[in-house]
A and B are shown apart, each in its own frame.
Chain A
Amino acid sequence: MTTNENRQQLAQESLTGVVERIYDQLDDGQIPTMELPLRSKRNIEFDPQHNVWKYGDLKTSRSAKTVNGAVMMLRTVYTADFINEMIRENKSSTLREMYYISEGWNNAKFHSQDESNLLAEDLETITHCMREDFKLRPEESGAHVYGDVNFTTMTKKGMKTMNCVDDVSEAGFAVPYKVEEDTFQIDPGNAKFVMAIETGGMYARLIENGFPEKYDCVLVHLSGQPARSTRRLIKRMNEEHNLPVTVFTDGDPWSFRIYASVAYGAIKTAHISEYLATPTAQFIGVTASDILNYDLPTDKLNDKDVGALNAELSDPRFTDEFWVNEIQAMLGMGKKSEQQALAKYGLDYVTDTYLPEKLTDMGVL
């Protein structure tokens, strides 16, 4: 608890520091400016210490000379003030609530929630604090966990331990927005490995077929691009309890990015990749070669898909041999496929044949 308080103390001081820098520039008769790391794939570098991708040295600067720059700085001041007030009063708010609260901020008002989310991330990169320290939390992400693992977590009735098979519904255990040690402890029980799954349909299929029980596997339903806490939970299961992590997604360019954000770190949150990314996570599929080897039903790549694949070719995270080959193979055949396309061979095919084959190849089983 004390570390928690320390962290919030630190967050408060850092934010006040940001406001102070703006104030001093104004007081000195200067045009206020602010420097931030450039948050795009051009500025993503591999950090060998943590084996993840982080922001490089490229900076972008904001100046009150332009309306955009001035408005962003005004928002920074308002947001810093708002967060400090929340910390003082021991409250928290969702990102969406902050977006609505900004209604009363005149010129600093956010015009979309994307703008407020981006600003929260900006503040993280400037202060080196985490959004959670700012008492800002995301909406419920929809991510769930199923498998023989025990989580001890804070509830309204104090800390409680739950088994993610026995104590949960069919849908599994809903991942909270904060999964740090102080309020969230993990006991891996009999679990042998973690499988992160993109679609709800496949997650339900694996549960129905008894896959987690049969292979001592912890299933994590990512529900699209995984939220921070989902990635953090996977990272902790891997790092603290040595559970190997595998990722099972659709076979299309967007799914490749889901894997990349689990394994390498997402571009938007590269400033905290070392907290979120699991560098040892392995990609099960569906790969381009799966589409050929298993003769899966496919859809044609549309223009957006092709654009996304080409963009990935220039994304530093995808520069290793495996991904270059996969991306080029997919571009070459011009086709994509879904996880559930495996049902072509029957409902049990994925649990009886495909996954055991792939996992054995990967050395997980």
Chain B
Amino acid sequence: MPSDEVTNGDAAPKKKTATAVKLASKQQEISVTEFFEKNKQILGFDSRSKSLLMGIKEAVDNSLDACEEAGFLPDVQVSIERLNDEDYRISIEDNGPGIVHKMMPNVFGRLLYGSRFHALRQSRGQQGIGISATVMYGNITTGKPAHVMSKIEGDDEVAWGMDIVIDTKTNRPIVTNDKAFTWEGKEHGTKIEYTIKGRYITGKQSVFEYLKDTAIVNPHAEITFHDPDGTKYVFERATDIMPPKPKEIKPHPEGMEIGDILKYASNSAQKTVRAFLKNDFSRITDRLATEILEKSKVDGDKKPEKITREDAIAILAAIKTVKIMAPPTDCLSPIGDTLIKKGLMHVLDGLRPDYYATPVTRSPKAVNGNPFIVEAGIVYGGDIPSDSQVQILRFANRVPLLYQQGACAITKAISEMDWRRYGLEQRGGKGIPFGPAIILVHVASTKVPFTSEGKEAIASFPELQSEIGLALRLCARNLKSHLNKLERKKKTHAKFEIVQEILPDMAQKAAAHLNRPVPNLDMTITRIMNVVWVEPSVKKVDKKTRDVTYTVYNYTNLPRSFRLHAQLPREAVNLTLFSNPMFIDMNDEGKANWEVTDLQPSKHIQVSFELKGDMADTFDADDIYFSGLNPAMVMGADMLPGDWGIKGMEITQTDEEDYVEDEEEETTEAEDLDDE
């Protein structure tokens, strides 16, 4: 309003001074803490039910990060106790490395304090706002301090416990009751307890949902949850394999802002600007450093802290004109196709899905100096509701995203795909598809571009969008070929039913009625079938044991010799495989071969073996191949693909690209027919 008053006449300048003075008396430093207190929604504390979830999410994220960093298989326990209608007592305990006594107040009681803020590495928490914001939110809403306990590794270490309140004016922790104690049975780890105003809900966007989704993408973690009604849920560890520890990388020059350069320069330990460029950034070689210095006309021998704003602008401009290699991508830790499948199977088994499409992990890409990886998986059928929209599980750096689905790049990529050609319903080929499916997408990056500080949705940019699209398409193609197979199987299986059940029943009943001997059906069956039939069956002996049996029937009128092939999870096979008389060999990829010689007409044989261990359930018995017979003569198994014996991804990839085109043509034709 002052500008209006200026134009309003003579009295204005006087008045304006007065206003400015008045304002100046009110102006004071607003602490970050105070700012956040007034803008809780930025951190995601905008509703009671969400606040409850956000606190737990921050704590669990930190616990998992800490455990992985220390190389411990995470064991996280979450419990919620209802004190009254609105107040809840929350506790989260982990078996992480613990926090040294002196640092505890700052970790839990100071916003924007953390070890990871300056590091470029894939981690769950990034800004160091989360857990302390939770502590603060609890303080504000209930007036009660948070209680923190921690013990670090070592026989002579004691555990420390303290109450923490955040002073919102100074952004400093106020500690009371700081005491050492003996933590019975605890080798190392941290536990935080706090009271918070919230609302406990079940279903979508609930704590349970969040923990379940977390368990899917963290199959190496065991998560225990005590809900307010006294029910205990355990998401058991599905694998003992720790994800590889993400490496820290230096910042990549692309995508840097002026402020970043100035900040790095002032903190640099290097003696010269040239050394600063070469050593403090990734992918800048000697030659590149020289080129940048020449183009920017900055003195390469002066001290880095002497870099001016103008220098920084010139250096940035020069960086844009030189060709710099993309950042290294080994700093990322994707979950990997096997473990995604494992995690999905482990957690979703109650829905008894028919099919887990082989998950896809794309190779890393980089944009603006930030490397990222996209992974996708699809679960189909079983008890997953088929009349509603598919469920989307979004993850960023192994953290489930539960809110703002509509604003997320993942949702956008899913909506822009035409799912109809992959066997899901979708009105007009756009939007979230319908059908009995769950779609999982995981984006891992050193810096996931979230749309807000609450880390609820991933911001969209073209490169990410297209990577998600590619991952989904690959995965959807697996689904489609499975559905096609299923369709084929259903058709062919009808015949199997005729010869296996209906005809024998008919023969028996007719014979009994006429009081004659039961006729031999071999000839009739051969006439109806005229194929070699492969019938897979899997028996679940216990959680980690599967008995796989292939029964092969010769329904033709000549003796047949052929081979069978399957790719088995190597870790899960045992003597039962090798001792089968038809078994020939298995290579180090787990590709196993069997030989069947002279199977007589109307006879059948059985190839069976046991799979045992963590990976036993990842084998899909329908993935059985044959060779040595005309494909028209075999049902229940696929012709051995030409690249079966060849190792390496590149060849597979090329084949798959070809396959896409074929399939698209097919789909178009099919759609044309539909229109008629």
Contact = CB atoms under 8 A, between A and B. Distances in A.
Nearest to A22: B510
Given A29-B524, A78-B509, A23 B494 contact: no
Contacts of A73: 506
Interface residues of B, number: 25
Interface of A: 16, 19-20, 22-23, 25-27, 29-32, 64-67, 70-71, 73-74, 77-78, 80-81, 84, 106-108
Contact of B513 (A26, A29, A81): A81
Interface of B: 494-495, 497-498, 501-503, 505-507, 509-514, 516, 519-524, 527-528
Contacts of B503: 26, 64, 70
Nearest to B495: A67
- Point out which of A22, A26, A30, A73 has the most chain B C-beta atoms below 10 A from its C-beta: A26
A26 B509 contact: no
Contact of A84 (B513, B519, B523): B513
A25 to B, nearest CB: 8
A77 B510 contact: yes
A23 B514 contact: yes
DSSP majority for the A interface? helix
A65 B502 CA distance: 11
A239 B129 CA distance: 99
Contacts of B501: 106-107
Nearest to B512: A81
Given A77-B506, A106-B505, A65 B514 contact: no
A26 B519 contact: yes
26 contacts: A19-B513, A23-B511, A23-B516, A25-B524, A26-B524, A29-B523, A31-B527, A31-B528, A32-B524, A64-B503, A64-B524, A64-B528, A67-B494, A67-B497, A67-B498, A67-B502, A74-B506, A77-B506, A77-B509, A77-B513, A78-B509, A80-B513, A81-B512, A81-B513, A106-B505, A108-B505
B502 A107 contact: yes
Contacts of B505: 74, 106-108
B556 to A, nearest CB: 14
Contact of A26 (B494, B497, B506, B512): B506
A64 B196 CA distance: 70
A27 B514 CA distance: 13
A27 B501 CA distance: 17
A22 B521 CA distance: 12
Contact of A20 (B507, B514, B524): B514
A32 B513 CA distance: 17
A78 B506 CA distance: 8
Contacts of A77: 506, 509-510, 513
A291 B63 CA distance: 84
What 6 pairs between A and B have smallest CB-CB spacing? A29-B523, A27-B519, A23-B510, A67-B494, A70-B502, A26-B519
Given A23-B514, A67-B494, A84-B513, A74 B502 contact: yes
A26 B508 CA distance: 11
B190 to A, nearest CB: 62
Contacts of B522: 29
Contacts of B497: 67, 107
Contacts of A65: 498, 528
Contacts, number: 79
A74 B509 contact: yes
Nearest to B527: A31
A26 B511 CA distance: 10
Given A29-B524, A30-B527, A64 B513 contact: no
B495 to A, nearest CB: 8
Nearest to B516: A23
Nearest to B491: A67
Nearest to B526: A29
Given A26-B503, A26-B521, 18 more contacts: A16-B513, A19-B510, A23-B519, A26-B519, A29-B527, A30-B527, A31-B527, A31-B528, A32-B506, A64-B528, A65-B498, A66-B498, A67-B494, A67-B497, A77-B506, A80-B513, A84-B513, A107-B497
B363 to A, nearest CB: 47
Contacts of A74: 502, 505-506, 509
Contacts of B511: 23
Nearest to B522: A29
B524 A19 contact: no
A278 to B, nearest CB: 39
B491 to A, nearest CB: 10
Contacts of A26: 503, 506-507, 510, 519, 521, 524
- Point out which of A16, A30, A64 has the most chain B C-beta atoms below 10 A from its C-beta: A64
A197 B513 CA distance: 45
Contact of A19 (B514, B520, B528): B514
Contacts of B521: 26
A19 B510 CA distance: 6
Contacts of B527: 29-31
A227 B497 CA distance: 38
Nearest to A26: B519
B16 to A, nearest CB: 78
Nearest to B523: A29
Contact of A31 (B514, B519, B520, B524): B524
Contacts of B510: 19-20, 22-23, 26, 77
B498 A64 contact: yes
Contacts of A25: 524
Contacts of B495: 67
Contacts of A67: 494-495, 497-498, 502
Contacts of B516: 23
Contacts of A31: 524, 527-528
A146 B609 CA distance: 77
A70 B506 contact: yes
Contacts of A66: 494, 498
A65 B503 CA distance: 10
B515 to A, nearest CB: 10
A22 B502 CA distance: 13
A150 B16 CA distance: 117
A230 B495 CA distance: 43
Contacts of A23: 507, 510-511, 514, 516, 519
B432 to A, nearest CB: 34
A74 B505 CA distance: 7
- Point out which of A25, A66, A107 has the most chain B C-beta atoms below 10 A from its C-beta: A107
A334 B512 CA distance: 59
B502 A64 contact: yes
Nearest to B519: A27
A107 B496 CA distance: 13
A80 B509 CA distance: 10
A66 B499 CA distance: 10
Contacts of B528: 31, 64-65
Nearest to B510: A23
Nearest to A71: B502
A27 B498 CA distance: 17
B375 to A, nearest CB: 42
Contacts of B523: 29-30
A73 B509 CA distance: 11
